[in-house]
Structure 1
Amino acid sequence: MSLPVLNPGDAIGLVSPAGAVRREQVQPGIDYLTSLGYICKLGQHAFSDNGLTSAPVERRLEDLHTFVADEEVKVIWALRGGYGSIQLLDRLEYGLFRGHPKILVGFSDITALQWALYARLGLPSLSGLTLTTQTRPENRYVSVGLEILSGRRKALVARDLSGESVQAFRSGEASGTLMAGTLSMICTLCGTPFWPKAEPIILALEDVNEPLYRIDRYFQQLRLMGFWENVAGLLLGKFLLDETEQDVLPLITPLVGPEVPIVYNLPYGHFSNALPFPSGVAARLQAEPFRLEWKGS
């Protein structure tokens, strides 16, 4: 599947597929992208507020489908997560995405859409860079995300993460499809037609405001599905509760095979200076020294 790349001068379609957002929350992010040379096109219902979600299902779909069909738009970018992506999964026009494949940039609740698009179409995405907090000049990893979207970056290495406390809990190498997202949102897809097929994966995980007992419940749910048997490599971001980092290693390490390399303390998660990951791409992981490379989006 040939995907358009994003370069300065290209258009980005900005949408709110899940929760509502106010213009003032995302205007600094929009201004930053504009200053870098990108054309930001807002969906008609980007700033709607329907209570639980930004807009009724039909209106959110309308914004997504409009930008998928728009030849000027190279990438679709969710303004924020929140709640509501799961309402769209069985109503998306997947054939339209197949005919006009585009990367969906988003995070948190948007994980459900990204994984569904991969499950149905093999469509890659970029996990991270919300417009509310992360797409800012202060976040050094915005440039990483834009390089991924341009097709110029095909790897992350230890020097890219200098100053971070990234560590290898278990060394080794692994190959598989890199899949990234928010743990609780991944689990909402269990047992649905939008669960990816069984294949070796390198899994990047994070979550927020989930206490350890609920995180373990999600891990155990995936264990009962046989999911961990397909995990060839594990990348752990931040699991924050009231802005405090929680240690999930004792919960997850008994569930994966002893040969599975594990890297933790990655700067991936619900905080401002967070790293984005490509998702749905063939990848290879070397735990120590850290190197993650992929074939492209």
Structure 2
Amino acid sequence: MAPHFVRPPRLLPGSRVAALSLSSGFVTEVMGRYHAGVRQVAGTFGWEVVPAPNALRGPEYLDRNPQARADDLHWALGNPEIHGLVSIIGGDDSVRLLPFLDPGMIRAHPKVFLGFSDATVTLTQFLRAGVMAYHGPALLTDLAENGGIHPFVAEGVRRAVVDEPRPFDLRPAPGWTEFRQDWADETLQEVPRPFQPGDGWVWLQGETAAEGHLMGGCLEVLDMLNGTPGWPGPDLWNGAVLALETSEDVPPPAQVGYWLRNYAAQGILPRAAGLLLARPRGYTPEMAEALYAWVRRVLAECGRPEMPVVANLDFGHTSPQLTLPLGGQARLDPVTRQVTVTP
């Protein structure tokens, strides 16, 4: 039986959205960038971004106090004047919040939570609590994009958390970038980054359409989560469409293959419906081909050479990025080359 996830109420103009530092407190070093994100979110979506009580207390305090970060999540969930939550930025230690998180708060107060990278830990806890979560831009990344929020990002967020829920087709971004801008230089905030033309998706395998609920996130973070009490049980993985991405750490293709072998050994891949792979950040074309070879190899090893797999999608550590409603349905059709999502 497929798991059921509660859909949080939509975020409409006038909604108040809590900005959370659940991982790094780096935001205090780039407050100009933070304020740009707040302005751009207000201008594009009409939301008022409100910092959580501990969100702007700096990296040293937040590193020493993981419970304060968990408290911010609980504060945002329980506060009736807060309608949604957004991750300010990622990092590498949200897994330290697990002992302090209350899944009951998530179940009792389902709200939109938007983020990626290390926010994968929290996104996954929403799914474990039976609440949909949204793998998409963070406040300091695409929401504070130089020169304004990219139309591709704005469209993705609106379809996932603003519009009346209805199925929509994903599409490749018209252009993309990995160019690193200096966020501390406020004179660059209105200078758009250089983009290169979009290179489309890569359909790796599969001839028959498949459908399932979306699960996944950043592979490196999922590796930190694997084996902890925050790891989803088998019932949550069964029949899922896995959406997996890699970070600026640029794990080698073989390492990704080893992680996938772990998922195969757990029984996750044998029982999955399909696989969405993000554009791997920092990869050369040769590395991408090696990655695709590893994916095909591992799926063949676990008896799933027919699983539909689409690669080079625009989510995760790439810009602009899609917003994927984790817990929502995704349908992969290799014949029509369409990926349809129901938020």
Calculate the TM-score normalised by the size of structure 1: 0.90
The aligned residue for residue 275 of structure 2 is 234
- Map residues 1-297 of structure 1 onto 2, 5 A cutoff: 1=6, 3-20=8-25, 21-22=27-28, 23-36=31-44, 37-51=46-60, 53=62, 56-119=65-128, 121-135=129-143, 136=145, 137-139=148-150, 140-152=152-164, 154-157=166-169, 161=173, 163-170=198-205, 171-198=207-234, 199-208=238-247, 209=249, 210-241=251-282, 244=284, 246-247=287-288, 248-256=291-299, 257-296=304-343
Pair 1:68–1:158, CA change in 2 (3 A): closer
Letter in structure 2 aligned against 1:150: V
Number of residue pairs matched by the alignment? 294
Cα separation, 2, equivalents of 1:191 and 1:78: 24
Tell me which moved more, 156-165 or 169-178.
Answer: 156-165
Cα separation, 2, equivalents of 1:13 and 1:72: 10
Cα separation, 2, equivalents of 1:52 and 1:143: 36
Offset at residue 113 of structure 1 (A): 1.3
When Rg is computed on C-alpha atoms for both structures, the one with the higher figure is 2
Q: Does structure 1 conserve the Cα–Cα contact (< 8 Å) formed by 2:170 and 2:339?
A: no
- Name the Cα RMSD after superposition: 2.2
Q: Does structure 1 conserve the Cα–Cα contact (< 8 Å) formed by 2:7 and 2:132?
A: no
Calculate the TM-score normalised by the size of structure 2: 0.79
Higher share of residues assigned strand: 1
Higher share of residues assigned helix: 2
Cα separation, 2, equivalents of 1:79 and 1:55: 18
Pair 1:40–1:158, CA change in 2 (3 A): closer
Tell me which moved more, 44-53 or 98-107.
Answer: 44-53
CA displacement 1:247-285 (0-9 Å, x = unmatched)? 111111122212211111111231231222111223322
Q: Does structure 1 conserve the Cα–Cα contact (< 8 Å) formed by 2:208 and 2:308?
A: yes
Q: Does structure 2 conserve the Cα–Cα contact (< 8 Å) formed by 1:157 and 1:290?
A: no
Gaps of 5+ in 1: none
Runs of 4 or more above 6 Å deviation: none
Identity of aligned residues (%): 26
Q: Does structure 1 conserve the Cα–Cα contact (< 8 Å) formed by 2:16 and 2:81?
A: yes
Gaps of 5+ in 2: 1-5, 175-197
Q: Does structure 2 conserve the Cα–Cα contact (< 8 Å) formed by 1:17 and 1:78?
A: yes
Cα separation, 2, equivalents of 1:254 and 1:221: 13
Cα separation, 2, equivalents of 1:219 and 1:9: 42
Q: Does structure 2 conserve the Cα–Cα contact (< 8 Å) formed by 1:154 and 1:293?
A: no
